[in-house]
Structure 1
Amino acid sequence: MNYRSIHYLRAVAALMVVFCHIEIPLARLGYQGSLPGFLEGGVDIFFVISGFVIFLSIQSKSVSLFEFYKRRILRIVPLYWMVTTFLVLVAVFAPQFLKSVRFDTLHIAASYAFLPYPSPADGLLYPILVPGWTLNYEMLFYAAFGLSLLSPRRWRIMAISGMLMALPLLGLVFRPASPGLIFATSTILLEFLFGVMIAWLLSNRTGSRTGGAWLLLLGVPLFVAAPVIAQYIPLQRFVLLGIPAGMIVAGALLVEKAVALPAWRLPRLLGDSSYSLYLTHGIVLSAMGQLWLRLPFGNGGFSLVAFGVLALLASVLGGVVVYRLIDEPLQKYFRSGANAKEGRLAAQPVAAR
């Protein structure tokens, strides 16, 4: 499970998302251009990685449905609820600091429950913590994956593949109008399936430096060119960004299985803190943008470049600090509790279990 390439790709994906969202405060500062459209594909890389990691983590283990859901909830929910609660408190007591948040009880409840609900600010299916829309899909994937654990181990790949293909197929056939059904039948779920299939196919084969290099050489240009291709061919997101993202993840893993990757501390740290960075970067960027407007730096080209660099650094620093001070200690606490429970169980006589 300790693939360095996965940690490094998490770092790259998180930085891509931050770069993508820097455009929002830049526009408020007077920037009239646009950043490369492929940057939003960091989310697609995350989805593929998620499918890979989740399937690989239970492929050779006997994990109960309850235990699986418990582990995923403990990994995802605590920090997400903390950041969401922070935004709710700001929306109540200092709404002037939030440009894209409107206080709405049902919207907030749906945000905590990982349910799609139209935002009162713009009507889009975003929670109060906007990047959380991807976590809604993560939770849907976990729900489906957990059900696959009810099947015999040798049938798990068929069970999860069937569910992740059936839901988008139903959406394409019936074209639901309900926001909830549109969400539940999105073709973006196929990106999790790409990760699952990569884990299934690569788990028992040796690496190939040549094969991995070819996948990367093909996947990266397709990934970068996705916005241009979309202008001429109206393809679904899972084709434009999901398939190249899968090629990049599979290529990196094939290379790593053939050649040991160097242990870079900074990319590893960014990969470990990618979840914290993903959840907090929007808040940091918004605060930096509002602070910059109050400073006498003007809105010229140099000022915008300086803001972009400082905003990126502040976002990364904020993500690392939240990871070190909150997320990492929380996860260590949950793991120590789980290990203690397993130790007590192992110490019991068989007849008492």
Structure 2
Amino acid sequence: MREKKLFHLQALRGLAASLVVLSHSVQGRYADRLWVSGYFGVATFFIISGFIIFKTSRQSFGSGFGFRQFIGKRLIRIFPIYWLATALFVVLSPHRAEYSASDIVCSLALIPHYMALTDGMNPLLGQGWTLHYEVLFYAIFALGLLCRRRPGVLAICAILAGLTLVGMLIRPASDTHGALTLAQYWTRPIILLFVLGIGLGVLEQRAQKLVVPYPFALISGVFIVWFAYSIESPLTEAQHYEFPNLAVIWGLCLLLVFVAIFGRSRPGRFETVAEAFGDASYSVYLFHPFVLSLLKRIGVDAMYPTGYAVASLVGANLFGLAIYRLVETPILRKGRTMLERMA
């Protein structure tokens, strides 16, 4: 049976990418407040990722063929367009002469690696830090595919929860400073968001008759609550990332994804546009800094701070959509063809 298209989930992917762009472009009195919106967008992405990976791979458990297909699809989905964005960043960076070979290789391979130049473990393409966790999740999920579905899913969730517990033993959850070791990096609580996504995938499978009315209105309402909370909150940026304050962000993100999955949907003009920008969200996420950099070079940020944020949102989404259609889609198409020939 053909799976129904989750139009609102696609729309939410596009909105999450736009939140990241907003957090990098907003200036003035709300800059510190809205910076946390970038994390809000990333947390939403991670929950969606857990859901989508489970939904699209739930028939592959207990199969060595499913394991190989999963690895191949994930490699093609993540790396080629990321390599292109990283290469463009290195070419345009004024610090490219200071990057060591290990900095470049580890960044391209998405292996967390301490770089003295940035005093952190993020890749050269800064926003690629989230892909470190995606790759970790894919590796754990792939191992789970070697088991039957129920023990496989339980093992995946147990490993992610176990890594988080180890991380809390290494350093308290309230410590929000950047990780300086691989053990610190890959044991952060953020990986539990994938577990929440898997949980929604199991729920969607078992509660197929569940329908949430007025999903667009509800999603809009959650965003309004979030912006009101983040702008008026007395918390500092660091305090937002501490428990139990972090639970507010996770709870709202979980609610957003839940509504997007179970929301009543029909194929119309809104859904068509939402699907297009949702499909392009990965390209928007990877390439938006280049749009922001161009706008800064021509002085838009200094002359019109508010206009800079608006232009960044519009420009990043349009540029990301162009990259998706002209570059990412052909790469994915060729990759899928190659996998089919190898099957």
* TM-score between the two structures when normalised by the length of structure 2: 0.83
Change (3 A) 1:210 1:317: closer
Whole-angstrom distance in 2 between the partners of 1:156 and 1:185: 20
- Equivalent position of 1:288 in the other structure: 295
- Equivalent position of 1:306 in the other structure: 307
Q: How does 1:29-40 map to 2 (within 5 A)?
A: 31=28, 33-34=30-31, 36-40=34-38
SS of structure 1 residue aligned to 2:298: helix
Q: How does 1:178-197 map to 2 (within 5 A)?
A: 179-197=181-199
Instruction: Name the amino acid aligned to 1:39.
Output: S
Task: After TM superposition, give the deviation of residue 279 of structure 1 in Å.
Answer: 0.3
Change (3 A) 1:70 1:145: same
- Equivalent position of 1:128 in the other structure: 124
Change (3 A) 1:191 1:229: farther
Whole-angstrom distance in 1 between the partners of 2:311 and 2:342: 45
- 1:16 corresponds, among 13, 19, 25, to 19
SS of structure 1 residue aligned to 2:311: helix
Structure 2 unpaired stretches of 5+:
173-178
Q: How does 1:61-72 map to 2 (within 5 A)?
A: 61=60, 62=63, 63-72=65-74
- 8 Å CA contact 2:288–2:316 kept in 1: the answer is yes
Deviations 1:29-87 (A, max 9, x none): xx465252442111111000000000111112345322211110110000001111122
- 8 Å CA contact 1:187–1:238 kept in 2: the answer is no
Task: After TM superposition, give the deviation of residue 117 of structure 1 in Å.
Answer: 2.1
Q: How does 1:162-181 map to 2 (within 5 A)?
A: 162-175=158-171, 179-181=181-183
Whole-angstrom distance in 2 between the partners of 1:211 and 1:49: 20
Whole-angstrom distance in 1 between the partners of 2:216 and 2:296: 40
Deviations 1:203-233 (A, max 9, x none): 1211232697998699656644267275578
Change (3 A) 1:83 1:216: closer
Change (3 A) 1:238 1:135: farther
Q: How does 1:197-346 map to 2 (within 5 A)?
A: 197-205=199-207, 206-209=209-212, 220=223, 223-224=226-227, 225=229, 228=233, 230-231=235-236, 234-235=242-243, 239-256=247-264, 259-260=265-266, 262-264=268-270, 265-292=272-299, 299-300=302-303, 303-342=304-343
CA RMSD for the aligned pairs? 2.9
Task: After TM superposition, give the deviation of residue 237 of structure 1 in Å.
Answer: 7.3
Q: How does 1:131-142 map to 2 (within 5 A)?
A: 131-142=127-138
Deviations 1:324-344 (A, max 9, x none): 1110111111122333455xx
Change (3 A) 1:57 1:33: closer
Task: After TM superposition, give the deviation of residue 309 of structure 1 in Å.
Answer: 2.5
Whole-angstrom distance in 2 between the partners of 1:242 and 1:204: 23
* TM-score between the two structures when normalised by the length of structure 1: 0.81
Deviations 1:12-42 (A, max 9, x none): 101111111113xx5xxxx465252442111
Aligned residues with identical type, % of pairs: 27
Task: After TM superposition, give the deviation of residue 184 of structure 1 in Å.
Answer: 1.2
Instruction: Name the amino acid aligned to 2:49.
Output: S
- 8 Å CA contact 1:188–1:237 kept in 2: the answer is no
Change (3 A) 1:214 1:203: farther
Deviations 1:168-192 (A, max 9, x none): 0111123398521111111000011
Structure 1 unpaired stretches of 5+:
343-353
Change (3 A) 1:337 1:212: same
Task: After TM superposition, give the deviation of residue 102 of structure 1 in Å.
Answer: 4.9
Instruction: Name the amino acid aligned to 1:193.
Output: V
Bigger drift between 170-179 and 66-75 goes to 170-179
Whole-angstrom distance in 2 between the partners of 1:154 and 1:163: 14
- 8 Å CA contact 2:219–2:260 kept in 1: the answer is yes
Change (3 A) 1:68 1:220: same
Whole-angstrom distance in 2 between the partners of 1:275 and 1:115: 19
Query: Matched residue pairs, number?
Result: 322
Q: How does 1:38-117 map to 2 (within 5 A)?
A: 38-40=36-38, 41-61=40-60, 62=63, 63-91=65-93, 95=94, 102-117=98-113
When Rg is computed on C-alpha atoms for both structures, the one with the higher figure is 1
Change (3 A) 1:341 1:143: closer
SS of structure 2 residue aligned to 1:60: coil
- 8 Å CA contact 1:38–1:226 kept in 2: the answer is yes
